[in-house]
Structure 1
Amino acid sequence: MATVTELLQPVELDLETLLSDLRSLIGAGHPILQAAAEHLFSAGGKKIRPGIVLLISRALSPEGDLTARHRRLAEITEMIHTASLVHDDVVDEAATRRGVATVHSRFNHRVAVLAGDFLFAQASWHLANLDDLEVVKLLSRVIMDLADGEVKQGLFRYDTGQSFETYLEKSYCKTASLIANSARAAGVLSDQTPQQLDQLYRFGRQLGLAFQVVDDILDFTGSEQQLGKPAASDLASGLLTAPALYALEEQPVLAGLIEREFSGEGDLEQALDLVRASDAIPRSRALAETFAREARESLQWLPDSPSRRALLELPEFVLSRLY
């Protein structure tokens, strides 16, 4: 299976330009915020989200050229994503991300919150300057969804009565909205038809959901090295994802452990065993495979190009993290 770097090969040079442009865009701010932003953009990261925007932009262009507005859209996408990670890490009190110290552990909580706000504000400003109302609407929606997903996640902790819809909605807000709406925005900048815009949106939505469900499975099956955080950390902090929700249907005794917030000796281990002993993981895997298939089907209409081939391999790549 290809690595991310191989998959993003058609836009490899574009991504290098993107990084240097991001550094200059964030430029003349406050030295601490600048240090925080610099730190984030150099903290590795696979750049899948701006990569998708660039691949779609190239796949939609007959000569495979990129306009300055498409490049800027990719930069805004990465800014929004990075801003959301900074805030996520503060909320989750994570000490590292991708093996690098998080902003709040390197500076402090106040700086991290401000750095996230600063990036959201920067993104909004550059977004407005694209002078395309449709694109502004799509990406402002994402910023709302990200905040909404974060709030919902907090409200439904340890709540065994939440519906599967609630979980999917939250996953959409936190992960899929950015990919779906920025994919659609790339189409808007390329003057695509309403049907094609819907398909681009659908690609991003289903890919994002597949990505999230795979993440949620790995929380139960992955090793600490693979995850970069302790296994079952979602469950331990009361976040009920697809595997936990499926397991609750089969193992009602799990509800009691969750509702008492794993306060008893060995509660968390027992909960993990219940999830692993049920059909929850295979069912979650089937769900991720469905989303991935739907993502792939959404882009069949694109004319053949290296970028199209890369986009069609992405859903497979997302699933390959499970094996």
Structure 2
Amino acid sequence: MGRVVLVTGVSRHLGGRFCEVLSDCPEVDRVVGVDVVPPPHPIGDATFVRADIRNPVIARVIAQEDVDTVAHLNVIATPLSAGGRVTMKEINVIGTMQLLAACQRAPGLARLVVKSSAAVYGSSHRDPAMFTEDQGPRVVPRAGFGKDSVEVEGYVRGFSRRRPDVAVSVLRFANIIGPRISTPMTDYFTMPVLPTVLGFDARLQLVHEDDALQALLAAVLRDEGAGLVNVAGDGVLSLSQAARLAGRPTLPVPAPAGGWVGQVVRRSRLADFSPDQMQFLAHGRGLDTTRMREVLGFEPRYTTREAFTDFLAARRGVQPTLLPTLVHAAARAERWAGGDR
């Protein structure tokens, strides 16, 4: 008998596409897609159930549908799309708590797959060249998506202790990029000019959206849990290399100007920037993917560079220029940092 998989966050791009992938998989009998709003895109043969994972009703859905595998993809990185930072945290943290409480009460549950993020490692000048799964952050994320991801993983560890019979896999994805997905990183590289942090050239490691879906599928089809697994394409790009490939000019700004520039970008809705995003653009991050190959048994199709060029091929276009606005914001912040208020 094949798996019955419940997928959270199916109204978002990755969740919807994952339902399509599961629908085409012969090892999966049924797919149940859950979200608070109906998906605006196809979800394959999945049955859509309108439910909020922040509500205990999710336990009834798991029981009624005889779910044996839960794929939790509803951890959101974009405050604007979630309706603000408060709502984003509720969905990420409170939603995960309620979902795991429902999973704990489900005797037929055999597998739990959680989409996490390399943001749990933070980003600082003290970071190693490559993070392995057993290394912690040198500077713990204190806000935003990174902090949410740390809390989500903490709740998953607690669940794993209470339900050792459930095979748990937590995939820490590098920044996902591709021709169709929209993330803070894809929004950043479609801006007319790219703000960068003066004196820094971040290391970027990316994963193609198709590879992200196949990695999730590999975790769902495992009989045993993979534990913590970094998922990323081979190789790295520096931010300056990526900007040249994208054909975008850069605007180096002093570190104190990052907050001002980020506010301008968010208010213009060009990109859903957060303070930790500017920190990442200064230092970047590298991931060791040994466990991805040896434990998860997954080999990415795209390297970091190939994933980025595939994204560029689909996203080239003309954007309205905000260069004067960004320059003004950077100059104002620099004067403020120097005491000229």
- TM-score with structure 2 setting the length: 0.33
If each structure's helix is expressed as a fraction of its own residues, which one has the higher value? 1
Higher relative contact order (CA 8 A, sep 6+): 1
- Which TM-score applies when normalising by structure 1? 0.34
Please state which structure has a larger fraction of its residues in strand: 2
